[in-house]
Amino acid sequence: MDEQENSILLVDDEENILNALKRLLRKEGYRLVSATSGRDGITLLKSNEIQLVICDQRMPDMNGIDFLAKVKDEYPNIIRVLLTGYTDIDSITESVNKGQIYKFFLKPWNDQNLKLEIRQCFEQYKLARTNRILQETVIEQNKELRRINENLEAMISERTKDLKIQNRALEISQAILEDLPIPVIGISCDLTTVMVNIKAMVLAINERYFQVGKDISGFFPLEIEKRIINVIENDIADTIKGFHISGSDYDIDIMSASEKFRGKGAVLAFIPLKETESTTTL
């Protein structure tokens, strides 16, 4: 059954009261279900989707307050209304204050007032239902937000761990590079020096030393500069044989940068030549 349908359970041990209520409310378009006792009412609630219960107070076996208290425990979303006489006002008021019933109607009732009150009951039901849906949505959104935050924290933690490992690896790589027994320099595609290890710092061409951030244009003969640029642009290795610098002779191995830096720079490794090897100065 559609939960939006306005369904009323009428509970009263007097058939004439039930019939009077049915005649009055049937014209309002409500779906009506009736029972002559609280126990029968509970049974009907198990097999019917009900939004509003209207129950008489004075019934044998189970009075209206006890019945509606049971309804509250088992079906808390149902709007609960009590029919009662003036003599029960004190106990009814206490029940209202405890939240066992939404409101009560005094007998005999005014037909127009009763119909108006019932419309207000359904408005209350719809409002409460909307609030429940909103609360459930907020709860689900909060759960999702917590899940996202937890995943984000895990990702940040993992990323931080990775960065620490990478930084450590970079430090070790830098230390190894610094301590290499041969001079090594790194240059970018615009021939700017981006790395110089300790051995390379003492090399000088025309009294110019390799320094990070310095342009090496003019350090080497133009022909060698062209070969360095060719290595960077075409991702090929090259070797300058027997280059004389700072009183020593070297073969210069030129290697293009790898991975994501391919095409953006090159590494120059100066391999010392033995004294018996022939040298060439360009």
Tens-place pLDDT, residues 78-119: 999 998 876 667 777 777 776 678 888 888 889 999 999 999
Q: Which CATH class is domain 180-272?
A: alpha beta
The answer to whether residue 276 scores a pLDDT higher than 50 is no
28-61 pLDDT, tens digit per residue, is 889 999 999 999 999 999 999 999 999 998 888 8
Q: Which residue has the higher pLDDT, 253 or 166?
A: 253
In one-letter notation, the amino acid at residue 267 is: V
The closest alpha carbon to 195, from 187, 205, 207, belongs to 187
- Beta-strand pair 204-205/193-196: unpaired
**Pair 269, 237: CB distance under 8 Å:** no
The closest alpha carbon to 281, from 242, 248, 246, 247, belongs to 242
For the chain, give percent helix, strand, coil, nearest 5: 50, 25, 30
pLDDT reported for residue 171? 76
Mean pLDDT of all residues belonging to the chain: 86
The answer to whether residue 181 scores a pLDDT higher than 60 is yes
190-221 pLDDT, tens digit per residue, is 899 988 998 888 888 878 888 888 888 878 88
The closest alpha carbon to 10, from 124, 114, 125, belongs to 114
Q: From CA 35, how far away is CA 46, in angstroms rounded?
A: 13
The answer to whether residue 174 scores a pLDDT higher than 80 is no
Q: Which residue has the higher pLDDT, 78 or 176?
A: 78
pLDDT reported for residue 2? 43
Where b means 16+ CB within 10 Å and e means fewer, 207-237 reads eeebeeeeebeebbeeebeebbbebbeeeee
Of the pLDDT bands very low, low, confident and very high (cuts 50, 70, 90), residue 249 is very high
pTM of the model: 0.53
pLDDT reported for residue 168? 79
Q: Which CATH class is domain 7-135?
A: alpha beta
pLDDT reported for residue 257? 84
Task: Judge residue 121's burial from the number of C-beta atoms within 10 Å of its C-beta, 0-12 exposed, 13-18 middle, 19 or more buried.
Answer: buried
pLDDT, average across residues 170-192: 83
pLDDT reported for residue 263? 81
Q: From CA 123, how far away is CA 130, in angstroms rounded?
A: 10
pLDDT, average across residues 152-172: 81
pLDDT reported for residue 275? 60
- Domain ranges for the chain: 7-135, 180-272
The angle formed by the CA atoms of residues 35, 37 and 42, to the nearest 5 degrees, is: 75
Task: Judge residue 115's burial from the number of C-beta atoms within 10 Å of its C-beta, 0-12 exposed, 13-18 middle, 19 or more buried.
Answer: middle
Helix axes 111-178, 15-26, angle to 10 degrees: 70
